[in-house]
Structure 1
Amino acid sequence: MIAATFTAPADYRSYQIKGQVISVAPAGPDGEARASLYVDAMLKVMTGLGVSREQLSHTFPLAGLVCVRYRPEAVFVQTPGPKAGSAVTDSET
C-alpha cells in the first residue's frame, strides 16, 4: 500500500491518494529529466510565495530517485477544514 499527498502551494488545497504499489524501480534518465524540470518549476512557485531556496535545500533532492507506479484505490481531502480526511466521491470529481 502507498499513500501519496498532493498539495497546491498557493492555496494549500491537498488530496491524499491511497493505492496498491505496482512497481518500484530506479527513475532512469527520462524520469530524472522530468523530475529536474518539476523541481525547477516548484522552486519558482515556492520562492514566489516567499519560501527561500535555503529553506527548500533538502525538500527537492534529485539523487537516488525511484519511480513508484501504483493503482489508486481511494482519494481523500487533506486540506485543513471540516472536510479534512473525508473521502472524495465520484460526484465531487
Structure 2
Amino acid sequence: MDKTQLAEKTAHRAADGAAAPQLTADDVSLILDTLFGTVEHPGTIAEALKAQEAVTLGSFGSFQGADGAATFRPGTALVEYLKDQLR
C-alpha cells in the first residue's frame, strides 16, 4: 500500500459512521506528511527523535532514535493483531 492508497483508505474509514466533519484523502495526506515528514521538511516524529524523545503511540508501538538511527518497536495490540491475522 502506498501513501495515496493509505490516505484514501484512512479517509474512507474515518467517514464510516462519523458525525464529525469528513476528512478527505488530501487531509489525511497532509497529516501523514506532518507526522512522518517529507524530503523537504522533517515531520513531528523526526523532530522528537532528533531531540532524543521517544514517541509512543499507545498500543500501536513506539519510535526511538539513537546514534542517528530510528527504530520502531511494535506495541502489544499490533503484535497480537498481526498474530491473529497470520494464523
Relative contact order, CA 8 A, sep 6+: which one is greater?
Answer: 1
Provide the TM-score with structure 1 as the length reference.
0.29
Q: Higher helix fraction: Structure 1 or Structure 2?
A: 2
| TM score, norm. by length of structure 2 | 0.30
